[in-house]
Amino acid sequence: MQYGYLFWCFILAVVWACLWFFRKDLHREMLFTSFLFLPFGLTQPFFVPHYWHPVVIYKLSGLFDLESFLWCFFTGGIVAVLYEFVFDHHIKRIARNERYLHHAHIIYLFMILLALSGLYTQGMNILPMIRALFIIASILVIFLWWLRRDLFAKSLLSGFLFLALYISSLLVVNAIFPGFTQSQWNFNGTFGMYFFGIPIDEYLYALLFGLSWSVIFAEIKLYREA
């Protein structure tokens, strides 16, 4: 069980490498989102041990672990281009204008609110924090659908594609390291519902992450489907 989390990161690394190798036109997008999400590895103290308590090989300063930075790096790059890879689509940059700058500012505000909701509930029961994160993320998804109606279908497909990949990777980890999710997640810190041995919280996270980020990325970087 000691290497379960690291093995999960390895699976994501293999997927990331495949996307990188087969879609050279998406290198910039992958690197942008991978490095954008890399610092989110610093958020682990908010979730450990209340939400989960992964066994890691090394902790930096007793708080931050190497696996979480790897996990953030690889998931960030994957979610940004998974739709384009599966459906062989290409993206094209659109002209910048004040309207899109305004939209980008609103998106940044939502992302700040997500972070603040975590800071505000630090030290409290983890469930209110998780619920707040899910509610804010859901509002963001609805707003993004209204903002970029042209990306509604892409958002839906991206959400379910990432959900399928995310859960599949956890199922593989559970197969290699039996009981990984049951032992690493804190039952009292989740909604208490498990499907195929995986907390429902992880399903919701993966779906909302996939639904929202494909549109956030397109809006911030001013991309559209070519």
Tell which wins on pLDDT, 115 or 197.
197
CA angle 33, 9, 172 (to 5 degrees): 120
**Distance between CA 65 and CA 74 in Å, rounded?**
15
Top mean-pLDDT range of 110-124, 138-152, 162-176: 162-176
Tell which wins on pLDDT, 140 or 100.
140
Residues in the chain: 226
Average pLDDT in the 64-93 region? Answer: 89
Q: Provide the pLDDT for residue 110.
A: 60
Give 13-19 contacts, CB < 8 A, sequence gap 24+: 13/70, 13/74, 15/74, 15/78, 15/165, 15/169, 16/74, 16/77, 16/78, 19/77, 19/78, 19/81, 19/82, 19/85
Average pLDDT in the 139-168 region? Answer: 86
Average pLDDT in the 30-46 region? Answer: 87
**Distance between CA 192 and CA 174 in Å, rounded?**
18
**Distance between CA 82 and CA 89 in Å, rounded?**
10
Is the C-alpha dihedral spanning 79, 155, 110, 207 positive or negative? negative
Mean of all residue pLDDT scores within the chain: 81
Q: Provide the pLDDT for residue 161.
A: 96
CA angle 111, 116, 122 (to 5 degrees): 140
23: tokens are 């879609």
pLDDT at 126 > cutoff 50: yes
**Distance between CA 157 and CA 79 in Å, rounded?**
11
Q: What is the DSSP letter of 89?
A: -
Average pLDDT in the 21-45 region? Answer: 89
Q: Where are the beta strands (DSSP E) in 147-226?
A: 194-195, 198-199, 223-225
Q: What is the DSSP letter of 186?
A: -
Q: Provide the pLDDT for residue 11.
A: 98
pLDDT digits (tens, 9 = 90+) for 54-65: 888 877 766 789
pLDDT at 226 > cutoff 60: no
